[in-house]
Amino acid sequence: MENKLEHQLIERCRKGESQAFSQLIKLYRRQLYSYLWRLCGSRGLADDVFQDTLIKVWKGIDRYDHKDKFSSWLFSIAHNVAIDALRKYKVRSNIIHTDEIHLYGTDSNPCSELIGAELQEIMGEIVNNLPEKQKQVFLLREHGDMTFKEIAELINEPLNTVLGHMHYAVEKIKRALRKKDAI
Amino acid sequence: MQSNLICEEFSRNIWQYIDRSLTEDEMSYWRRHVNECPLCSARLGEASQLISLYESIPLIDIEEDKFNVMIENAVRTDRKRGFHFLHHAIAAADFLPMKRFAFGGAAFVMTIMLIFLLHKPANITLVAPEARKVTLAADTAKSNIDLQDKAQVAEVRLPGRVQTLKRNRVNDWRADKVAYRINQVGRSLARIKMMDEAHREPDKWALHAIALKRQIMLLEREMNSSPM
């Protein structure tokens, strides 16, 4: 059902309908923005990368092949734009400030918001401190809904290496959470 | 020991197992193993718990106003619409197994056809008088070569260089070939003329004479195949 809607929106985008483009991006907006925020480590850069991603997606929508998953295509563009931007600005990921996240967090339950905020702070810090490749693989898998094979193709590394990155990323997160008594 | 190796293997496959991206046989094999092995079962539990924990964190969203502005900025950029028809054509040819090659081939054939359509078969008349003059001179040169009359061969005068297709003066393939042959004859003759008396060694002269005769023969053949 969602795929059908997505397909229709893509077709309308190809005809130049901006409304359809907005609706199409909204399907993945939160996932995409969260991913970029975590990968870039700063809100300003995440905004810039998000804007550039939208431009590239709009310009390249004609080249999108329906055989591929749209989300994978979208995240691969976002990933490449983010990596370029990170390289360009030489920004090392910083700890994400929770007060900023509070403003834009979308969970409406106050209790879960509190737990989420604490956890977000801890998790954000841990994920940001992961080595670059491990962070990329972890975030692409979690936010991009991509298979490891797709991730391997995107970051141009063998599948086993990608699985290794995921394994070490999770081990590091686990150890860090244990240290902070979060699990 | 063997069990440890299996567990190590599972730790390598754990993420594909969680993602269900292994084959059906592999999935059922590991399912059985996890049910029997407390270590792997715990490993799987921990990994799944961590992922659930991460996924329970609320996602971060961008402000609506900012998002709308970004969408407006994006749609304002020009899209390369010129190639639209090509994309549709390629998409329509999905049934072809090697559509890229097919389109490449089609584009090549179309280019060749276009060249022939735009080609103007006119200027053979420009080359024809030159060619006639050259064949007359070449006949003289040929008979002098046969008589081994080196001085007479050196006296033979050919008309100047004929412009070929590269200089855009001749735009006919046949005329271009004839012009090329005329120039080749001219070049061969020039080589003989450049050999002064003192250096007209019999072997070298004979070699150049053969080359000249060959060029004259090729020119005649070209002219016979191109009615002028």
Kindly tell me if the per-residue pLDDT of A26 is higher than 90.
yes
**Residues of chain A contacting B87 with CB distance shorter than 8 Å:** 62-63
Spatial separation of the C-alpha atoms in residues A128 and A153, rounded to whole Å: 23
Inter-chain Cβ pairs, chain A and chain B, closer than 8 A: 117
Q: What is the pLDDT of residues A69-78, one digit of tens each?
A: 899 999 999 9
Report helix, strand or coil for A97: coil
Q: What is the pLDDT of residues A77-87, one digit of tens each?
A: 999 999 888 88
Ranges of chain B whose pLDDT falls below 50: 1, 82, 121-122
**Residue to test with chain B: of A19, A34, A45, A127, most B Cβ within 10 A:** A34
* Contact criterion met (CB < 8 Å) for B50 and A55: no
Q: Is the pTM of this model over 0.90?
A: no
**Confidence at residue B167, expressed as pLDDT on a 0 to 100 scale:** 54
**Confidence at residue B29, expressed as pLDDT on a 0 to 100 scale:** 92
What is the least distance, in Å, from the CA of B49 to any CA of chain A?
9
Q: What's B45's DSSP letter?
A: H
What is the chain A residue with the closest CA to B66?
A47
**Confidence at residue A182, expressed as pLDDT on a 0 to 100 scale:** 64
* Contact criterion met (CB < 8 Å) for A16 and B67: no
What's the farthest any 2 CA atoms get from each other in chain B?
107
* Contact criterion met (CB < 8 Å) for A33 and B62: yes
**Residues of chain B contacting A149 with CB distance shorter than 8 Å:** 21
The CA radius of gyration of chain B, in Å to the nearest whole number, is 40
**Confidence at residue A109, expressed as pLDDT on a 0 to 100 scale:** 45
Provide ipTM, 2 decimals. Answer: 0.79
Q: At what angle do helices B38-56 and A159-179 cross, to 10 degrees?
A: 80
**Confidence at residue A116, expressed as pLDDT on a 0 to 100 scale:** 60
Q: What's A131's DSSP letter?
A: -
**Residue to test with chain A: of B12, B50, B57, B85, most A Cβ within 10 A:** B57
Q: CA dist B159 to A2, A3, A38, B136, B224, Å? A: 79, 76, 79, 11, 20
**Confidence at residue B197, expressed as pLDDT on a 0 to 100 scale:** 58
Spatial separation of the C-alpha atoms in residues B217 and B75, rounded to whole Å: 67
Other C-beta atoms closer than 10 Å to the C-beta of B68 total 12
- The runs of H, that is alpha helices, within chain A are 2-14, 18-26, 29-40, 43-60, 70-89, 98-104, 110-128, 132-143, 148-155, 159-179
Phi/psi of residue A117, nearest 5 degrees? -65, -45
What is the chain B residue with the closest CA to A52?
B74
- The pLDDT of A94-109, averaged and rounded, is 44
Kindly tell me if the per-residue pLDDT of A90 is higher than 80.
no
